Structure 1
Amino acid sequence: MASIPLANRLRPKSIDDVLGHESLLKNGSPLQRLISGSETQKSSVILFGPPGSGKTTLARLISQGTGSDFVELSAVSASVANVREVVESAKRQREVFDRDTVLFLDEIHRFSKSQQDSLLAAVESGVITLIAATTENPAFSVIRPLISRCLVIKLEPLTQLETKTLLEKALNDPNGVRLEIEEDALEYIASVSDGDARRALTLLEAVALGSEAATLENVKEVCSRVQVYDATGDQHYDTISAFIKSVRGSDVAAAIHYLARMIAGGEDPRFIARRLMILAAEDIGLADPNALSIAHACAGVVEKIGMPEGRIPLAEATIYLATAPKSNRAYLAINQALEDLESGGQQPVPAHLRSTGAVGYKYPHDFPAAVVRQTYAEGIPNYYEPSNHGFERTIAERMKGIGDILGK
């Protein structure tokens, strides 16, 4: 028994053992009905939440409540062929034994669009009940047809109090650990676990392996040794922050270093690609209009080819963006305009610009420069001031010429 990880030994066997998620598991809720088996119409589910929030546990409880066979696949290693094998087996189980199958697909966000498409027919027909787990927002990582066929449930991390309760249970459960631990040391584990039940139990087990008693100092030392890159924890946010700031700061070597750390740590490459697209728009902007196209193309290639080959376009886009001229002037312009609207700075549309009943509008193409002086908006500042970086120098020259004609 001791060779089985503590988190698995203490996995809840019933809904009453589950910590947290009170609103999701209250009597009469869709999730509670599925787990209790009182839901006559089986529904496929997408569980969306951070690591250690109970996605696997809830999937097993749903399978248990519905009396179904439970099959588990990880999208990291599974293929379309594996999915088809499960579907064929589920058909045989239904035909021969009149028994349903629950397929738990962990990390569904790692499946490509075509791989997710392979699930649709089986989910639609009810051959399998799909319980998919993801740490990514399904709106961005799961195809819309699959979302429309599933109940989407968002799970929150455990509170620090709930995490501490879980640790106390581990200290008193026959399948738990034998350890005398100081109160502040227990509080520390609950704090650094960030609501991740699995991480909390793993840290507690690591502490227990070293001794039969633990102080705060012991616990801090052990925690510092076992913390590794977590694709959703503090290191996730720290590393992506360092990556973005390195690209923004034009340090190619540092940017590639942090990119490598994320790839080696199992970060979702699509998350990295999305952040590059945001950076291209926010921090490079019109200083290099090609930057956003490069980042967008990178995201499309990564989506199609996956990893490990996806590391190459990610590196290429990172280098291009890091060496591109930088400007956040467009970003500042739209933010300022939105702030002005919130403070009541909205004037009526000039009569000659309205869609109906407009009189006096001057059609720019009827004039030599295709620019003509007329009122387009009243009482607004010049929101966009181009920098002297990259292509914005050209934009500044254009705006000066246009401004001379418009009288600005």
Structure 2
Amino acid sequence: MPAPLADRIRPAILDEVVGQKHILGPGRALRKIIDSGEIPNMVFYGPSGVGKTTVASIIAKNTERHLVKLNGTTASTADIKDAVARIDTFEGINGILLYLDEIQYFNKKQQQTLLEFIENGSITLIASTTENPYFYVYNAILSRSTVFEFKPVEQTEIEKAVERAFSILSVERQQDIVPEEGVCRHISFACGGDVRKAMNAAELCTLACDGGEEEIRITLESARELTQKSALRYDKGGDEHYDILSAFQKSMRGSDPDAALHYLGRLLEAGDLPSACRRLLVCACEDVGLAWPQIIPIVKAAVDTALMVGLPEARIPLADAVVLTSTAPKSNSAYTALDRAIEDIRKGKAGSIPRNLQNKHYDGEDVQKKGQFYQYPHEAPYHWLPQQYLPDALLGVRYYEFGDNKNEQSFKAYWDKIKNI
């Protein structure tokens, strides 16, 4: 069985690597390290299909080191020791480069085993992970390694790679492969920055399209059919999940309904209805808040409806709620006031509750002036009268400041008038 196209045309030199110019371009850090031939222990961090394995292979070839590839999902401590054992063989005469893919699946004990061989110089480690290494990689390994972040490849770069893929397939099949206008561009968009996915799509399109003896025409319809939903990057519980949720709320907070709908769409296409609902409710309370408090029950009703009907119809009430939240006036005055109050409490600024606010109880003999002295506001004009509410230690402290929106300013005007009478 032939290897996938992405493996058959894997770049052999750095100049052929698609993307990653921020670390592999002329004069960039990783490029200079590789050209020096002195390879430190490294961690490659980034999404799948962006060149991490390819670059590790090129490093091994350039330095003439024996490359051992292991995967954290299947490898064991015995596999690590077996790789180290090759240091005394003809294979390891120039050193062993261990490429450990998906290191986040190694437990702490396994990672500690790696540490032993890193420290004594038996191996040079290049570990790769799709998760944030500062959360998933053992600190002792991180402290002895240099982290390089690989990013999703730009669409224009991938489009060139797709064109090259069709050219190579033409040579392999000894047939002209002619993609319709827009095919390469569509595949480059649909792969979501994943070069491997783009190569696989190009090969699938070639296999799926009928052709004559001399020519295969790749139709745009076929490309669309074979790349449905393939652009979606989503790993619930991973960085991408939290990045999308963050972008979703920040877009609503920033009053950009178009961006908010885009991120809502990504959540729903991934089937993550609960996360979309939860973040929408938080945004209504946190970011719209007292500027228009009526939005809270409105959004709650939309969320309840969405959860009741489920996908795909859930998108309808959620779209209404997202646009409403994005375009509503904003105020975070209430919850920031609470945060300031909690900050004082954590610093020990509290004090005894004023006697007039306490529950009715017997005054001890040590109390000079007995009685609660609470004044009932509803018995006063305008249902308000001045009395102490904060503890003595916090007299004069102000946590809440009226927001500059119409709603809160109308309340401010009302109370300014009442309290000045």
| Number of the residue aligned with 1:203 | 201
SS in 2 for 1:73: strand
Question: Where does 1:2-401 land on structure 2 (aligned, <5 Å)?
Answer: 3-36=2-35, 38-40=36-38, 42-90=39-87, 92-93=88-89, 98-173=93-168, 178-211=176-209, 212-224=216-228, 231=235, 238-239=269-270, 241-245=272-276, 336=333, 364=352, 372-375=391-394, 378-381=397-400
Which amino acid letter does the alignment assign opposite residue 393 of structure 2? Q
* CA–CA separation in structure 2 for the residues paired with 1:247 and 1:127: 50
**Judging changes above 3 Å, is the alpha-carbon distance between structure 1 residues 48 and 372 closer, same or farther for their aligned structure 2 residues?**
same
Which amino acid letter does the alignment assign opposite residue 394 of structure 2? T
8 Å CA contact 1:229–1:236 kept in 2: the answer is: no
* CA–CA separation in structure 1 for the residues paired with 2:395 and 2:41: 53
Structure 1's consecutive aligned runs of 4 or more residues displaced over 4 angstroms after TM superposition are 174-178, 225-238, 245-249, 335-341, 361-365
SS in 2 for 1:183: coil
**Judging changes above 3 Å, is the alpha-carbon distance between structure 1 residues 377 and 160 closer, same or farther for their aligned structure 2 residues?**
farther
Q: Which has the larger radius of gyration?
A: 2
Could you state the TM-score of these two structures normalised by the residue count of structure 2?
A: 0.58
| Cα deviation, residue 51, structure 1 | 0.9
Gap regions ≥5 residues in structure 2:
210-215, 242-264, 287-331, 359-389, 403-421
**Judging changes above 3 Å, is the alpha-carbon distance between structure 1 residues 235 and 134 closer, same or farther for their aligned structure 2 residues?**
farther
Which amino acid letter does the alignment assign opposite residue 100 of structure 1? G
* CA–CA separation in structure 1 for the residues paired with 2:147 and 2:217: 43
| Cα deviation, residue 22, structure 1 | 1.5
**Judging changes above 3 Å, is the alpha-carbon distance between structure 1 residues 119 and 338 closer, same or farther for their aligned structure 2 residues?**
farther
* CA–CA separation in structure 1 for the residues paired with 2:131 and 2:109: 18
SS in 1 for 2:70: strand
8 Å CA contact 1:9–1:176 kept in 2: the answer is: no
| Cα deviation, residue 23, structure 1 | 2.3
| Cα deviation, residue 381, structure 1 | 2.1
| Number of the residue aligned with 1:314 | none
- 1:152-211 deviation per Cα after TM superposition (whole angstroms, max 9, x unaligned): 000111111011010011122366675211121221111110110000010110000022
| Cα deviation, residue 346, structure 1 | 9.1
* CA–CA separation in structure 2 for the residues paired with 1:242 and 1:84: 45
* CA–CA separation in structure 2 for the residues paired with 1:136 and 1:55: 13
**Judging changes above 3 Å, is the alpha-carbon distance between structure 1 residues 226 and 89 closer, same or farther for their aligned structure 2 residues?**
same
**Judging changes above 3 Å, is the alpha-carbon distance between structure 1 residues 195 and 35 closer, same or farther for their aligned structure 2 residues?**
same
* CA–CA separation in structure 1 for the residues paired with 2:350 and 2:92: 77
Could you state the TM-score of these two structures normalised by the residue count of structure 1?
A: 0.59
| Number of the residue aligned with 1:393 | none
SS in 2 for 1:129: strand
8 Å CA contact 1:160–1:191 kept in 2: the answer is: yes
* CA–CA separation in structure 2 for the residues paired with 1:101 and 1:120: 15
CA RMSD of aligned residues (A): 4.3
Gap regions ≥5 residues in structure 1:
250-277, 283-334, 356-360, 384-408
| Cα deviation, residue 340, structure 1 | 7.3
Which amino acid letter does the alignment assign opposite residue 60 of structure 1? S
| Cα deviation, residue 379, structure 1 | 2.3
Which amino acid letter does the alignment assign opposite residue 203 of structure 1? A
| Cα deviation, residue 67, structure 1 | 1.1
| Cα deviation, residue 378, structure 1 | 2.3
SS in 2 for 1:195: coil
* CA–CA separation in structure 2 for the residues paired with 1:9 and 1:183: 26
Task: Give aligned-pair identity as a percent.
Answer: 29
| Number of the residue aligned with 1:285 | none
**Judging changes above 3 Å, is the alpha-carbon distance between structure 1 residues 338 and 18 closer, same or farther for their aligned structure 2 residues?**
farther
* CA–CA separation in structure 2 for the residues paired with 1:160 and 1:152: 25
* CA–CA separation in structure 2 for the residues paired with 1:226 and 1:238: 11
* CA–CA separation in structure 2 for the residues paired with 1:21 and 1:146: 24
8 Å CA contact 1:35–1:63 kept in 2: the answer is: no
